């Protein structure tokens, strides 16, 4: 096998993409360079057609504002989008997302970020937080689907996504992740197999505070997409992974499904196993499959999800993609390979391999007043 600059030119594909993540339950802050190091340790799992990161806690001075990260193809679509945003939001700050020159990244898109809150007259009479979230979701969907050349990369509070075409080190350097501090980070190195490699198609995919990185293939994408679009979402990023972010936002935020039941929907038990359950548990799982059958993810997958209350990982119900978890003090790590964890935590307290369909989750501790 030929190699060049430490890479294998995309000739090796050990079960596809690389995912890595960590979360501090006590909200201890870690520099973005750690997630870059961890992801770079698995560089051979990608082929340079996409890498990306999501950081939580990175905007403490603007933690009560929605942080919109946008990507533009040109200045004209930036102006059109900003005109649109002004109709619906109070913009407290707008600025280019800081970047560095990287030799291997040529002609990148334009990146801007906006710290906003909905205008009260646009919200009409409902000023509750759930109404704000739904309002922002609708505006994000409209930008992505109706303004050519504009794409919302993230829209949560005190979090942001940085992604593009390149290897993990290149994307981390380009977006100057070493200058950010966060208490939860997730990362993804892409090896696209049946969708294009482009800046918007890199992971993570998001909706509000939910950010998803995914290794695998969603063979049920068609029915999953039709299902979420019944609830106002639109898939515009030309990759099957996008629909996972919308499914989780729909189930957890809008339908109030507890995290513990998410695996029973996305990676539900086989009918033959449900038949062997005790009466009450059997009734629960039968109801879930009947109501949420269109949300079941078929195909091989391993996902890590960041959200406003924490982070979780989940593999498909026969575990066709790898996932390793570890803990050190209050920090939970989830990655495709143990080496990615030990790169930034050499002596974890525990390391284990989650079972197929098993939820691995971490949440933030209550802040003592």
A 10 A CB-CB count for 260 gives 10
| Residue in 129, 206, 214, 201 with CA at minimum distance from that of residue 160 | 206
| Residue in 4, 49, 11 with CA at minimum distance from that of residue 200 | 49
Write the CA distances from 140 to 122, 152, 231, integer angstroms: 15, 6, 14
CA–CA gap between residue 102 and residue 169 (Å, rounded): 10
Sheet of 66-72, strand order: 89-96, 110-118, 66-72, 150-154
Tell me, rounded to whole angstroms, the distance of Cα 367 from its chain centroid. 25
| CB contact at 8 A, 144 and 129 | no
Residue that the structure tokens 């980070």 belong to: 185
Tokens representing residue 60 in the block: 């403490």
Rg (the chain; Cα; Å):
20
Out of 15, 17, 235, 345, the active site residue is 17
Tokens representing residue 144 in the block: 């992505």
CA–CA gap between residue 226 and residue 255 (Å, rounded): 17
Residue 235, strand partner residues? none
Question: Is 184 a known active-site residue?
Answer: no
DSSP state of 180: -
| Residue in 188, 203, 211 with CA at minimum distance from that of residue 238 | 203
φ/ψ of 210, rounded to 5, equals: -90, 125
CA–CA gap between residue 215 and residue 21 (Å, rounded): 13
Reduce the DSSP state of residue 341 to 3 states and report it: helix
| CB contact at 8 A, 207 and 245 | yes
Catalytic annotation, residues: 17
């Amino acid at each position: 096998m030929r190699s060049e600059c430490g890479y294998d030119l995309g000739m090796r594909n050990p079960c596809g993409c690389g995912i890595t993540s960590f979360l501090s339950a006590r909200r201890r802050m870690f520099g973005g360079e750690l997630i870059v190091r961890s992801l770079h340790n698995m560089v051979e799992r990608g082929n340079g057609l996409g890498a990306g990161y999501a950081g939580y806690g990175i905007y403490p001075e603007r933690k009560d504002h929605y942080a919109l990260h946008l990507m533009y193809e040109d200045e004209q679509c930036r102006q059109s989008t900003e005109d649109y945003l002004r109709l619906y939001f109070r913009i407290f700050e707008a600025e280019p997302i800081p970047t560095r020159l990287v030799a291997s990244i040529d002609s990148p898109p334009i990146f801007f970020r906006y710290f906003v809150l909905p205008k009260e007259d646009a919200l009409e009479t409902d000023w509750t937080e759930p109404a704000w979230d739904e309002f922002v979701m609708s505006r994000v969907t409209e930008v992505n689907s109706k303004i050519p050349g504009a794409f919302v990369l993230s829209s949560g509070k005190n979090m942001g996504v940085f992604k593009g075409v390149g290897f993990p080190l290149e994307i981390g350097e380009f977006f100057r992740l070493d200058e950010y501090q966060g208490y939860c980070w997730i990362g993804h190195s892409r090896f696209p197999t049946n969708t294009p490699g482009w800046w918007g198609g890199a992971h993570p995919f998001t909706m509000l505070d939910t950010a998803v990185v995914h290794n695998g293939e969603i063979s049920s994408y068609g029915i999953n997409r039709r299902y979420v679009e019944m609830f106002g979402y639109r898939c515009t990023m030309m990759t099957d992974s996008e629909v996972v972010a919308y499914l989780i936002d729909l189930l957890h935020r809008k339908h109030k499904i507890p995290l513990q039941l998410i695996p029973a929907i996305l990676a539900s038990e086989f009918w033959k196993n449900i038949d062997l359950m005790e009466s009450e548990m059997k009734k629960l799982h039968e109801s879930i499959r009947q109501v949420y059958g269109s949300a079941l993810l078929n195909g091989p997958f391993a996902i890590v999800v960041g959200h406003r209350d924490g982070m979780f990982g989940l593999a498909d119900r026969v575990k066709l993609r790898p996932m390793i978890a570890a803990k050190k003090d209050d920090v939970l790590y989830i990655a495709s390979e143990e080496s990615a964890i030990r790169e930034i935590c050499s002596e974890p307290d525990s390391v284990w391999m989650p079972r197929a369909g098993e939820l691995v989750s971490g949440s933030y501790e209550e802040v003592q007043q």
